[in-house]
Structure 1
């Protein structure tokens, strides 16, 4: 074998060894935004929904992730529970549960809402490798003080019961701010969604970093 052929063989073998030793690149984290119109992107344009803006924000922060949109406008906790198994794949690394706003708007009994969310969290928490982040909701003032006293504590209680990450109010910093909402005054516009993402991002990153169960 000539000198050139020997050198070429040496380089080829060396590259093969280095390639074999190089660590495989980790797959992007699989996140599912499981909710209603607030997370589905009702009334906003392409690239402006909660899942899309969250994915972009994670990328800017150096976190590779794909955020799937599993939001259904008008969905209640009853509807969410009914579609949980086919809406959220077993492979999800993180599921952000954002449901309950429509329950409150429709005056559904808080007992029903709590029972549904309890079952959703129970099923998700039983999945190996799936982390859960529960986003809370607050009953609208027109539902009255008694309803709010029964509805509002549901999320904190269930987050503690299942030891999942908890974000107290999905619309924190956005609700009641005209410039951050659409004309219906219930759904955030693109700037409102950006605020939601900005405020929730640290908890999302912290939750993703936790060891899989």
Structure 2
């Protein structure tokens, strides 16, 4: 019995260590300020929300798409945990549509794939519960290109991107939402983020955003 209790204590400690070691409480430095700003903006049921990290944050969506009701809710460095923490700010306005691209920072920080997917499911479930009329669009995680040698923390984790994207393709129909598979649209012939669409191997450049906009337009009509 003593050995069994000791084993349980070890498992508990390891579990606690693993949870702490992946920094689930991490938030970007600008996170609190930006969320406060988002909360001051007026809401409309016609809003079309673009939700995510820096890849979303860097676009001027209303100009890029010529879409007056586009609202940028991207925060640089954000993760699925950050999205869950601030999701009420998005759902309280009962927006028309939400486009979500998130996950690459979770991967770069070593979050387990299944935990990331659990968060995706929770995000989807909460939107469906808190804003039932909102149409949900989940986008697959973009590839990276380590040949630029800039964002080293994000490199050599392509297997995680592939796995999560594959699971998202399965989750979307099960949960009754739309998946937009942008990942293959940005690959080069070596299965990297095409250098035509990036200047540093992680974020999109102006050509990348134009391509992304073209992919999204049929879902905005």
TM-score of Structure 1 vs Structure 2, range by shorter chain: 0.5 to 0.7
Structure-2-length-normalised TM-score: 0.65
1:159 Cα deviation after fit: 0.8
Structure 1 residue runs of 5 or longer lacking an equivalent are 1-26, 42-48, 59-64, 206-213
Pair 148,94 (structure 1): closer, same or farther in 2 beyond 3 Å: closer
Q: How does 1:102-117 map to 2 (within 5 A)?
A: 102-117=105-120
Alpha-carbon distance between aligned partners in 1 of 2:77 and 2:57, rounded to the nearest angstrom: 10
Q: CA deviation at 1:50?
A: 5.2
1:152 is matched with 165
- Pair member with larger Rg: 1
1:74 maps onto 2:77 in alignment: yes
Matches within 5 A, 1:182-193: 182=199, 184-193=200-209
Task: Name the SS of the counterpart of 1:134 in structure 2.
Answer: strand
For 1:129, the equivalent position in structure 2 comes to: 133
Superposition RMSD on alpha carbons, in Å? 2.5
Aligned to 2:87: 84
Per-residue deviation, 1:139:
6.4
- Residue 111 of structure 2 aligns to a residue whose secondary structure is coil
Asked if 2 retains the 8 angstrom alpha-carbon contact of 1:32 and 1:95, the reply is yes
User: Match of 2:48, SS?
Assistant: strand
Query: Residue 141 of structure 2 contacts residue 161 of structure 2 at CA under 8 Å; is this kept in 1?
Result: no
**TM-score under structure 1 length normalisation:** 0.67
Q: Which residue of structure 2 aligns with residue 51 of structure 1?
A: 61
Q: Is contact 1:95-1:131 (8 Å) kept? A: yes
CA 1:138/1:197 → structure 2, altered by over 3 Å: closer, same or farther? closer
Count, aligned residues: 163
Task: Name the CA shift for 1:171/1:85 in 2 (closer, same or farther; >3 Å).
Answer: farther
How far apart, in 1, do the equivalents of 2:74 and 2:170 lie?
A: 23
Structure 1 residue runs of 4 or more that deviate by more than 4 Å after TM superposition: 138-141
Cα–Cα, structure 1 residues 89 and 165, in superposed 2: closer, same or farther, change >3 Å? same
2:153 is the counterpart of 1:142 = no
**How far apart are residue 28 of structure 1 and its match?**
8.6
Structure 1 distance, partners of 2:168, 2:101, is 10
Partners of 2:158 and 2:195 lie apart in 1 by: 23
**CA shift at 1:150, angstroms?**
3.8
* Structure 2: segments with no counterpart, 5+ residues: 1-43, 145-154
Find out whether 1:40 has 2:57 as its counterpart.
yes
